[in-house]
Amino acid sequence: MSGIEIDRRLPEDFFTAALRDDVLKGLTADPKWLPPKWFYDARGSDLFEEITRLPEYYPTRAEREILTARASEIAALTRAETLAELGSGSSAKTTLLLDALQAVGTLRRYDPIDVSEAALLSSGAQLQKRYPDLTVHAVVTDFEERLAIPESAGPRVVAFLGGTIGNLLPEERSVFLARVRANLRPGEWLLLGTDLVKDPATLVAAYDDAAGVTAEFNKNVLRVVDRELAADFDPDDFAHVALWDSEAEWIEMRLRARRALDVRLKELDLTVSFEEGEELRTEISAKFRREGVESELAAAGFALREWWTDSEGRFGLSLAEA
C-alpha cells in the first residue's frame, strides 16, 4: 500500500469534452490544427519515451546533463521543502532533484501535477519506494487551464522540465507563467527547462528522426481522434512534416495529406475535407535564447537567478525566484 494522496481536479467528462472542443475548433479552422496534448495516450506516451532515446533527440540528454551537474546547487540555493513538478510524466529526472534536496535535509514533499492519473500513480509508487519518508501529493489536472499548485509551509520549487513550455504559443506562455507566479509566494522558485535556438539541421533532425519514431508519434494523434470520436482517419494517408520557422524560432510538426480525402467524425457529426498536399499543424516546439527567457520570466514576475546550459550549449535550465 502506498500513501500517495490524489487530488482530482478534472471534471468527469474532461477528456471527451476537451477533445471534442479542440477537434471541432481545429479541424474547421483554416489552416487546420490540433493541439499537441492529444498525442499522449498510452501508445503516444510510449512513443515519446522512445523519442527521448533516439540519437537525434538531444533535449532529454542535454537537460539530464545539466540537472546532474546542478542539482546540489539547486538544493543549496532553494532549500525547498516541496518539489512540485508540472507534467511529471516519468520520474527519471525527478530523482536527481529529490536526491539533492534530501541531501540538504529540507525535503518533505513531492507534488506531481499531471493530466494522467495513471502516470501519477505509477511514478508516485516508484518514488515512494525510493523515498519512504516522502509525502507524495499528486494533483490530476490540466495545468494549462486549471493550474493548482498545492500549498505547503516551507518554500516550494516548481519544476517544468523537458522544454514542454515550448509547446505553448507565446501568448499562452505568458498567461501560463503568470499563473505559476500567482500560485507562489515571494522567495519561492521556478525551475524551467527550455530548448535553445541552434542550427536548423540539428533541430529538424530531432523532429524527423531516421527511424521514423517521431512520424509515428505525430500520426498517433489521428489514431486518438479515430478512437475517441469514431473518426476514420487513415494515418497512412498523411506524411510527417517537421520544419523550422526561422522567424518565429520554433519547430512545427504537421501532417500533410498525400491525396484529396474526406474524413468522417461520427461523434461530432462532421465531415472534414483535405486537399492533396494540405497540412494540419499538430505541434509547435519553440526554441529559446537566454534574453528571451529572462524577459518572459520578468514579465510574469520572476527574477532569473541562475542560467545553466549543457556543455554543448543546446539546452537551458533557468532557476527563477518569485
The residues of the shown chain that bind ligand AVJ, judged by CB under 6 A, are: 51, 59, 162-164, 166-167, 207, 214, 217, 283, 285
Task: Enter the C-alpha cell of residue 88.
Answer: 511529471
Looking at beta carbons only, is 93 or 109 nearer to ligand AVJ?
Answer: 93
Q: Which residue, 7 or 49, has its beta carbon nearer to ligand AVJ?
A: 49
* Residue whose beta carbon is closest to ligand AVJ: 285
* 142 has binding-site annotation: yes
Smallest distance, ligand AVJ to C-beta of residue 74, A: 20
CA distance 127 to 110: 9
Nearest approach, Cβ of 252 to ligand AVJ (angstroms)? 11
- Nine-digit cell string for 17: 469534452
Q: Which is nearer to ligand AVJ, 86 or 257 (CB)?
A: 86
Please state the closest distance from residue 128 (CB atom) to ligand AVJ, in A: 25
Provide φ and ψ at 268, rounded to 5°: -105, 0
Residue closer to ligand AVJ, measured from CB, 85 or 283: 283
CA-based nearest residue to 104, from 72, 66, 131, 128: 72
Nearest distance, CB of residue 310 and ligand AVJ, angstroms? 15
**Is 143 marked as a binding-site residue?**
yes
Q: Annotated binding residue at 87?
A: yes
SS3 274: strand
Is 274 part of any known ligand binding site? no
User: Does 283 appear as a known binding residue?
Assistant: yes
What count of residues does the chain have? 322
Residue 23 Cβ, how far from ligand AVJ at the closest point, in Å? 19
Q: What is the DSSP letter of 243?
A: E
Please report which helix (H) or strand (E) contains residue 241, including its range: strand 238-245
Q: Which is nearest to 67 in space by CA: 48, 91, 94?
A: 94
Comparison of 82 and 285: residue with beta carbon closer to ligand AVJ: 285
| Cα–Cα separations (whole angstroms), residue 11 to 15, 16, 36, 160, 225 | 9, 10, 21, 24, 20
CB of residue 166 to ligand AVJ, shortest distance in Å: 6
Alpha-carbon span 281 to 255, nearest angstrom: 7
Nearest to residue 90, comparing CAs of 64, 70, 55? 64
Task: Check whether 110 is labelled as a binding-site residue.
Answer: no
Cβ(221)–Cβ(282) below 8 Å: yes
User: In the complex with ligand AVJ, which residue's Cβ is closer, 108 or 256?
Assistant: 256
284 known member of a binding site: yes
- Give the residue ranges of the annotated binding site for L-histidine: 57, 167, 207, 283-285
Annotation: binding site for S-adenosyl-L-methionine = 87, 93, 114, 142-143
Q: Show binding-site residues.
A: 57, 87, 93, 114, 142-143, 167, 207, 283-285
